[in-house]
Structure 1
Amino acid sequence: MLPSLLLIIVCVSSVAAATQSVGVQGQLMCGNAPLTDTDVTLWELHDLPEPDFQLATVKTDSSGRFSVSGSDSTTFTMKPAVRIYHRCNNDGTLGLPNLCQREVTYQIPSSYVFSGSAVNNWYQMGTMNMQAKQPNEQSHCASNPIRSVLGRR
């Protein structure tokens, strides 16, 4: 009985999956200067045990502006978020550069998720100054060569 029920759920879920899209635009600053060449990644957030899914990634331009969009086929309304990885106001110790990046995640309202592969209405994040510590900020050290040799993130 249970295997049959699971098979039915899987079949219905695969048929009901539809393409959904989201797009985000904004500008990043570091104090009074544009935050250039900064990674902005669009994610679809999932509940455990399914991992989050990266939809797209871009770098900010010479003015700190970015425009990122992505789409995915999913059964339920996607929960998109933008993750920004930067080094604004992130000095190291003893005069050495900090190899870790600051990582900030911003969830995008579901009202900006649209059916189909085209973005109908872009979510405007506005101009954001990344100099001050953000409430949901953490340190991202995956690119740290010393930590990778030690097998740590």
Structure 2
Amino acid sequence: MAMRDQSIAVKGKLLCGPDPDDLLAQGYTDHHGGFNLSGGTAELTQIDPVLKVYHDCDDGLKPGSRKVKFKLPKSYITNGKVPKKTFDIGILNLETIFPHEEREMIVS
């Protein structure tokens, strides 16, 4: 079994109520809350892509950040270093309490 390059892309818009959120994993949202990320790696087995969003929307002064994870559909995984299609996760209002939401102390 040989290693093969695989990649994936995701885009969407993050809001905190009517306002855009600022930080998304390794990328930043634009001033409207939009983002577009892609990445890849060489693996022996199929990758298991997860979008992790860290934010402080509707969170008061609690320590750490809210952390939400979204498993991305495997049908959007591309063989090769450049994704051929992008998963549109849509518009997410981060005021929502998501199932299995966590809290994480982020060290910058």
For this structure pair, what is the TM-score category when the shorter chain's length is used for normalisation? over 0.9
Corresponding residue to 2:66 among 98, 102, 107: 102
Deviations 1:41-91 (A, max 9, x none): 3xxxxxxxxxxxxxxx10111111111110100111110000000000000
1:100–1:143 CA contact under 8 A, matched in 2: no
Given residue 64 of structure 1, which amino acid in structure 2 is its aligned partner? G
For normalisation by structure 2, the TM-score amounts to 0.93
For normalisation by structure 1, the TM-score amounts to 0.67
Query: Which residue matches 2:29?
Result: 60
Query: Which residue matches 2:99?
Result: 135
More helix by share: 1
For 1:26 and 1:138, locate their aligned partners in 2 and report how far apart those are by CA, in whole Å. 21
Runs of 5+ consecutive residues of structure 1 not aligned to the other structure: 1-11, 42-56, 93-97, 145-153
Query: Which residue matches 1:73?
Result: 42
More strand by share: 2
Q: Which consecutive aligned stretches of 4+ in structure 1 deviate over 3 angstroms post-superposition?
A: none
Deviations 1:100-136 (A, max 9, x none): 1000000001100000011101000000001021102
For 1:139 and 1:65, locate their aligned partners in 2 and report how far apart those are by CA, in whole Å. 23
With a CA cutoff of 8 Å and minimum separation of 6, indicate the structure with the bigger relative contact order: 2
Seq. identity, %: 28
Given residue 51 of structure 2, which amino acid in structure 1 is its aligned partner? V
Query: Which residue matches 1:53?
Result: none
For 2:8 and 2:100, locate their aligned partners in 1 and report how far apart those are by CA, in whole Å. 22
For 1:25 and 1:139, locate their aligned partners in 2 and report how far apart those are by CA, in whole Å. 23
RMSD (Å) for aligned C-alpha atoms: 1.4
For 1:68 and 1:25, locate their aligned partners in 2 and report how far apart those are by CA, in whole Å. 6
